[in-house]
Structure 1
Amino acid sequence: MLSAYGHSWVYGTGARRHSEGFVELAARELGVRLNNQAESGSLSTETARLVIAQPPAPADVFVLMTGFNDARLQGPAPAGQRQYEESLEIVFHALAKAGPEALVLAIEQPYIEDYSGHPPYDQGSNAIVDGYNAILRSTVERFPFARTVVVDGWDAATMLAKDNVHPNDRGHAVLARSLVGAVRSTGRGDVR
């Protein structure tokens, strides 16, 4: 079982068909059942509240991708970054409790081309996304069962939908390939 948490990219937004979202593609490639708990438009705080209100079911692999909406809403505000780190801690603890032997893969957020659209979610930049990814990496280091995933081959110029916020089919395919590669590189090709 692969269980996924996070924002609209995890939900599958931007793909022509929901079934072509990257966690759907990855689950099919790995031959596993998918439990997609992502919520479109969610902040990391909402993902943290979700895992408290509805503790995760056991899974072999958990996927987390969150923080993009936080970065676009909060910009460089230190309070937003602290809230993100606190939310990650809550989520990682909940996932560890649900599956002590499970692998947790936290996907670093790729860039988009233009952060100025969709107010009030217009406060981001590549530098701010880098800061949130750095927080993700430093938090993951405190959890031995967790790994970060860098999306290999991402190209914002060709992999975003027309809204310039969500991945298109090509973007979802690259995300899926990175996720599958991360699972297989850990020797967890036997997830069910």
Structure 2
Amino acid sequence: MKPVAVAGGVAAAVGVGYLLWLARHRSAWTVLLTNRIPGHHVYWRERGRADPDSVLYVALGDSAALGLGASRPDRGYVGIVAKEIGRITGKRVRVRNLAIDGATCAVVLADEVHRIPKATALVCTIDVGANDIWSFEPGRFREEFDRVCAALPPGAIVADLPSFSPVPVTRRVEAANRIVHEVVAARGLVLAPLNAATRRGGPVIAIRNAAGDLFHPNDRGHVRWAEAFLPAVRARLAQQAAPAAT
């Protein structure tokens, strides 16, 4: 057998072996992260308890808003945003995290928006749409996403869909984000440029910032997600503080 053929066979075997290892690795991480979900809900339930001396932050969305993939719930992007709100206001932050793992726009409509507190939130954020991309249908997505945005409080900060660098769904994400941008603008809400933030650095950085399931962000990834929200959060806080300063 020629050396080239042998080398090709070895390379193919190594490639197949790597793909099998990767599939098992992702499967193990999926189980691990799924098992963490109840603990994340418990954490956010405690953070949402009434506190008369606190400011209110309301978060809606999917498992990313729960902080899944981070080493602890408070190291998810919602926890990072809450910490920044506390730093700027000098007050304790009550977080009503209404997110549900696996949420699509339909789930947010059915199980989240009606739970938005009547009390005025200092900040409201939402990420949704990533789970809609697997069965993406533009007309349905626009209708459901518009209904979600219509139910949000004024000044809510709405993320577009993140980059899925390791996953070949770019065209669907681009189509969904065109809809997101149009609806957010039409509803007078604030866009958090999550796609641009998570696309920065390309596929290598995307993998580095992903948890072991290669879907949820890890601690570094959640910092990147928070960076997409924080400029709008800071602007919102400055706007809220302005009347008190005059």
Q: TM-score range by the shorter chain?
A: 0.7 to 0.9
Q: Distance in 1 between matches of 2:113 and 2:94?
A: 23
CA offsets, 1:68-116, max 9 Å, x none? 1110x214xxxx22222222222222223xxxxx42111112212333x
Aligned to 1:69: 131
CA offsets, 1:21-51, max 9 Å, x none? 1011111111132111110111111101124
* 1:91 maps to amino acid: V
User: Higher mean Cα deviation, 28-37 or 62-71?
Assistant: 28-37
Kept after mapping to 2: 8 A contact 1:45/1:83: no
Q: Distance in 1 between matches of 2:224 and 2:108?
A: 24
Q: Distance in 2 between matches of 1:52 and 1:83?
A: 18
Superposition TM-score, scaled by structure 2 size? 0.64
Aligned to 1:45: 106
Kept after mapping to 2: 8 A contact 1:45/1:87: yes
Aligned to 1:126: 170
User: Higher mean Cα deviation, 48-57 or 171-180?
Assistant: 48-57
Q: Structure 1 residues 13 and 51 mapped into 2: Cα distance closer, same or farther (>3 Å)?
A: closer
Offset of 1:189 from its aligned partner? 6.5
Offset of 1:170 from its aligned partner? 0.3
Q: Distance in 2 between matches of 1:135 and 1:56?
A: 27
Kept after mapping to 2: 8 A contact 1:30/1:180: no
Kept after mapping to 1: 8 A contact 2:157/2:190: yes
Superposition TM-score, scaled by structure 1 size? 0.80
1:36 aligns with 2:36: no
* 1:16 maps to amino acid: S
Aligned to 1:149: 192
1:174 aligned residue (224, 228, 238): 224
Instruction: Return the index of the structure with the highest Cα Rg.
Output: 2
**Structure possessing the higher relative contact order (Cα contacts under 8 Å, 6 or more residues apart):** 1
CA offsets, 1:153-184, max 9 Å, x none? 43413211110110010010111122122211
User: What secondary structure does 1:3 align onto?
Assistant: strand
Number of residue pairs matched by the alignment: 172
Q: Distance in 2 between matches of 1:55 and 1:183?
A: 18
Structure 2 unaligned spans of 5+: 1-55, 87-92, 199-204
The answer to which structure has the higher helix fraction is 2
Aligned to 1:87: 144
Q: CA RMSD in A?
A: 2.1
1:24 aligns with 2:47: no
Q: Distance in 2 between matches of 1:38 and 1:172?
A: 15
Q: Structure 1 residues 55 and 28 mapped into 2: Cα distance closer, same or farther (>3 Å)?
A: closer
User: What secondary structure does 1:35 align onto?
Assistant: strand
Kept after mapping to 1: 8 A contact 2:192/2:232: yes
1:184 aligns with 2:234: yes
User: What secondary structure does 1:95 align onto?
Assistant: coil
Share of identical aligned residues, percent? 27
Kept after mapping to 1: 8 A contact 2:197/2:227: no
